[in-house]
Structure 1
Amino acid sequence: MYKVSEFAEITGLSKNTLRYYAEEKLLEPAYIDPNNHYRYYDDGSYFLAILLIKLRRLGFTIQEMRTVMKDESFENLEKLLVQKKEKIQMQIDDLEEQLEEIDDFLASGKEEQE
């Protein structure tokens, strides 16, 4: 079992983030001491923390992370990742379109100056 400070250090998550994730039911402590209310995490918590870190890096919202964590089998994780990938690709396409519009606009301004 790891105390909050130890768990924060090994995962790279801040104590505040761990508290927030517990409030959001994303990553709850494995054990809470009834006497002093200290929170403890275990090795299973470590796996879940690493998953949450990865999901955040992939741009998942808290709601999307909650969906993943509720599905304990992670059966739908692949589907969610594919959806996220498609959304990112659409954003890339939109940004490339904007770049083309900017280039066209700049080119038309140069033509008018000549």
Structure 2
Amino acid sequence: MLSIGEFSKICKVSTKTLRYYDEIGLITPDAINAENGYRYYSIRQFKKLLFINRLKSYDFSLEEIKALLEWEEDQSEEKLYAALNRKHREIQENLNALQYTLNQMSNDISSIERGVPIMSYLDHIEVQLVETEPMNILYTRQTMSSDEYAIGYGKYFSRLYEKMATEKLTLTGTPMTIYHSPEYNPASISIEFAIPVEEIVTGTREIPGGLCAKSVLKGAYPELTSVYAKLREWVEHEEYELVRSPYEVYLTDPYQTAVPGDMVTEVYFPIKKK
């Protein structure tokens, strides 16, 4: 048996952390001296702590690790395999996002070196005046925080596609979101997730056609803020006004597009002359 200090030294985990792991039931000492409360760990527990350390290095939370430790009980690695694949995708997405940011910073540095204003990219965002046709959409409207949006995107669109399959509805366009909140509040955003379909059934409604200011973003979603600002500036400059909530149409699936710069999103501002 090893004292908590010896165990800590070999595995390079502080005794404070080991005590916390014990409190939350992650890894408990094999024995505790009833008289002095000293904790002792067995050699066989090295493997478990090394496994915990490995998962921590993969950015798993302690709650996730605790759940995954259960796979050892029934000798089934299916749960671990699925969790590792999910975390691998998350890390790859983060890497792609960081690479996109690095490329963007490199472009900004290059622009400054050439004497080009860093915000001059706004001049290259094109705005078109288009006439749209009415659309019948299958929709669900939700109120959520900005942090919940990424999860909601997949969750609510999946439900809409499931309903489409169940009711055998005909797809007529790509997924879209409509933003109904009058102002930005990260704690409460009113969003409508929608898919254009042909059939008129319960859960569908029509979006009127009409005049729209339109812009297309080829890049990561955080860049949409610049597109919205450019569209709003254009609408004001051309003496139009908004008549309905803006909406986005996703021409590419974020779950199928590995590189953020390859994503294509159309943004529409329904407008009329002042």
Matched position secondary structure for 2:69: helix
Runs of 5+ in structure 2 lacking a partner? 118-274
Return the structure number with greater relative CO, CA threshold 8 A, min gap 6.
Answer: 1
Runs of 5+ in structure 1 lacking a partner? none
The aligned counterpart of 1:52 is 52
Report the identity percentage: 28
The aligned counterpart of 1:97 is 100
Decide which structure has greater helix share: 1
- Partners of 1:10 and 1:98 in 2: how far apart? 39
Larger-gyration structure (1/2): 2
Q: TM-score, length-normalised on structure 2?
A: 0.38
The 1:33–1:97 alpha-carbon spacing in structure 2 relative to 1, beyond 3 Å, is: same
CA deviation vs aligned residue, 1:16-67 (integer Å, no higher than 9, x gap): 1110111121111111222322211112211111111111222221112112
Deviation at 1:15, TM superposition (A): 0.7
Show the 5 A alignment for 1:30-109: 30-72=30-72, 73=75, 75=77, 76-109=79-112
Matched pairs, number? 113
The 1:74–1:55 alpha-carbon spacing in structure 2 relative to 1, beyond 3 Å, is: farther
The aligned counterpart of 1:4 is 4
- Partners of 1:57 and 1:5 in 2: how far apart? 22
The aligned counterpart of 2:266 is none
Q: TM-score, length-normalised on structure 1?
A: 0.84
Deviation at 1:111, TM superposition (A): 5.9
- Partners of 1:21 and 1:39 in 2: how far apart? 13
The aligned counterpart of 2:181 is none
Deviation at 1:71, TM superposition (A): 2.8
- Spell out structure 1 runs of 4+ moving beyond 4 A: none
For the aligned residue pairs, the C-alpha RMSD in angstroms reads: 1.9
Decide which structure has greater strand share: 2
Matched position secondary structure for 1:40: strand
